[in-house]
Structure 1
Amino acid sequence: MARKAREISKSGNYYITLKGNELFVTDEDKKMFVEILEKNFATGIVHGYYLTKSEIRLVVKEGEKGISMTMKPVTTSYARYFNRTHEREGKLFADRFKSEPLETDEEIEECIKNLENDTPKKQAKPKRTAPKKKDVTKVKKTEIKIEKTEETKPIEEKKEEKKNKLPSWLL
């Protein structure tokens, strides 16, 4: 059976989720993911992101290439970095990324607010269940980062900075 086609957003904005097991082992892994994300969204906008050990949530505006062609190098570059750094092989992500189109500014604001409150997009109120003991110490509120588009640097400056920071095998 063929998989369902990805819904295309008229506004170019999406709520994206990526799932996996042990996506981030160190804070350096999170920093590298954000660098790769910003590098590949140089022509788009990263409104906000939320990173945990087993899930990545993004609110983004696609770049010139479209969402699939923009996310592909993000996932492959990060998986390559992670596997080399932690001396492992195989798939890092459980499945392809899931995306939901966001058409209005209200939907974008709601999703960003949900990232800040650690609430999934479709959930009106957070349902708090007792997390496993090992997750309590690793998932912290400080893992939420929200990028404001008004404060971002010009694209050319960001590209040059990122080029200097990334290892040569990722370029």
Structure 2
Amino acid sequence: MPRHAREKGPECMYHIMVRSISDTPLLFKNDADKDKFLRLVKKYQEAYLFRVYGYCLMDNHAHLIIDAQGADISRIMHGINQSYAQYFNLKYNRRGHLFQDRFKSKIITDERYLIALSAYIHCNPKDVINFTNKIEKYKYSSLGMYLGSMRDRFAILNRGFILNMFSRNLSKAKKLYWEYICTHNTSEKVIEIAADMEFMDEKADYRSERRVIIRSFTPPEVVDFVKHYIKDYDSNIIVKYTRTNMESKSLSALLLRSVCDMTQKDICSFMGNISQSHAAKLCARGIELLRKKSEYKNIITDFVDRKIS
């Protein structure tokens, strides 16, 4: 049976769930595995500028609330899942697929659903021994960060978007949100969400006052910006065999992927018929440059801010 096209849109916010395949009962065997997954979320967040409004990692599955901010959710999750599967297979000496089918996604349609969804996700640890009556202490859920009792170790969470729906006063918002969690974790709306884990396709999306990045910039704009940003005015990224400007090529490839919404095949064609594996390596190197060189860490946000200002 052919797969149905995934419902997506530039202003969409998503409930994402990933689960391990049946012959691998544990997607995360220990805390180190959960840490690795969250580090990968952070890595791809830096490249695609999406927001995370909530998450919970259980042993055999994970939930995330992702505001794609105009990026392609399929590319985001493909990068995270593929990187985690490679890590997992190498660490545990296994081969083959790790995740059950494609990741599941459901478009969040309104504010009430978003709040109820966050409650459902944050209540997941109640089935874990030692956390039944203290779900706020489960460190692989974002609930503790919402309440201020835990720090965001991976710097991936935006809690303000949902908390502001309760109150503009942070202390009051945290109190009201916790009261909501305590009184609604068995409500009909949350039970409805729990029963809806098949993630039927949705055609609506949730619009708000969020700033969505419309990723329609052109490749020449990107290349020109990168040249001036890193002061490499003589580089030519479309010369196939040159190795003298790898930083310029890597950063350009990353921005082409992130803000121009180009596929690896598109990048191959633009940069001189390089292979798709080479394009993937350039993008990966670009991400590493963002993480390792302080002078490059804001290049994507600086490009976006400059183009829309």
Common topology (TM > 0.5): yes
Residues 138/88 of structure 1: CA separation in 2 closer, same or farther (3 Å cut):
farther
Q: TM-score, normalised by structure 2?
A: 0.41
User: Which SS does the other structure have where 1:96 is aligned?
Assistant: coil
SS of 1:16's partner is strand
Deviation of the 1:9 alpha carbon: 4.5
| Aligned AA (2:72) | G
State the partner residue of 2:185. Answer: none
Indicate the residue corresponding to 2:13 in structure 1: 13
Question: Aligned in 2, Cα 1:138/1:86: closer, same or farther, shift over 3 Å?
Answer: farther
Partner of 1:115: 121
Out of 22, 26, 32, the residue aligned to residue 26 of structure 2 is 22
Deviation at 1:57, TM superposition (A): 0.9
AA aligned to 2:31 is: D
Mapped pair 1:99 → 2:105: yes
Give the aligned partner of residue 125 of structure 1. Answer: none
Normalising by structure 1, we get a TM-score of 0.71
1:37: which partner in 2?
41
Q: Secondary structure at the match of 2:34?
A: helix
Aligned to 1:69: 75
Task: Decide which moves more: 62-71 or 18-27.
Answer: 62-71
Query: Which structure 2 segments of 5+ residues have no match?
Result: 144-156, 162-286, 293-309
1:145 aligns with 2:149: no
> In the alignment, what sits opposite 2:268?
none
State the Cα distance separating 1:4 from its structure 2 match: 1.7
TM-superposition CA deviations, 1:65-108 (whole Å, max 9, x none): 31101111000000011111222222111211010001323322
Aligned alpha-carbon RMSD (Å): 3.0
How far 1:58 sits from its partner (Å)?
Answer: 0.9
Counterpart CA distance in 2 for 1:52 and 1:77 is 19
Aligned residue among 59, 84, 87 for 2:65: 59
Rounded Cα–Cα distance in structure 2 between residues aligned with 1:137 and 1:23: 20
User: Of Structure 1 and Structure 2, which has the larger fraction of its residues in helix?
Assistant: 2
Largest Rg, 1 or 2:
2
Q: Percent sequence identity over matched residues?
A: 27
After superposition, what is the alpha-carbon deviation per residue over 1:117-150, rounded to whole angstroms, capped at 9, x for unaligned? 129xxxxxxxx9xx7xxx7479994031243344
Q: Are residues 30 and 36 of structure 1, via their aligned partners in 2, closer, same or farther at CA, if it must alter by over 3 Å?
A: same
User: In structure 1, what is the Cα distance between the partners aligned to 2:54 and 2:41?
Assistant: 11
Question: What is the number of residues matched between the two proteins?
Answer: 144
Change (3 A) 1:49 1:22: same
CA contact (8 A) 1:45 1:60 kept: yes
Q: Is the 8 A contact 1:37 1:74 kept in 2?
A: yes
